Amino acid sequence: MQLFNKSRQNQHRQTVNNMVSFNTIKNFVIELFYHCSPLDKLMKILNSWFIKDPTYVKRERDIPRKKSSARVSLNYYKRVYKPCF
């Protein structure tokens, strides 16, 4: 709801940044399952992290990825790509 109120003032609508939210949840997984901290307190912390760095949603902005040809892909894997073991 806070993000919705913030996005009214902007030209583009705001949403939660997925990378920030996944990283925050990953960092708090131990806190969620191991410690017996109150869930309400933890949810407030997570919400504050989600709202800190929103991303903008631009209307009708769906740019497809460029598909490389089979020749270019084969050249990359034969000559450029170096797998690490």
- Pair 16, 57: CB distance under 8 Å: no
Put residue 24 in one of left, alpha, beta given phi > 0 → left and psi -120 to 50 → alpha.
Answer: alpha
Q: What is the pTM of this model?
A: 0.49
pLDDT digits (tens, 9 = 90+) for 8-47: 666 777 777 778 788 878 887 877 777 777 778 878 888 8
pLDDT(7) > 60: no
**Higher per-residue confidence, 69 vs 32:** 69
pLDDT of res. 8: 63
Q: What pLDDT digit, counting tens, does each position of 55-65 carry?
A: 777 777 777 77
User: Tell me, what's the pLDDT at 1?
Assistant: 53
Distances (CA, A) of 50 to 16, 25, 59, 82: 6, 10, 22, 37
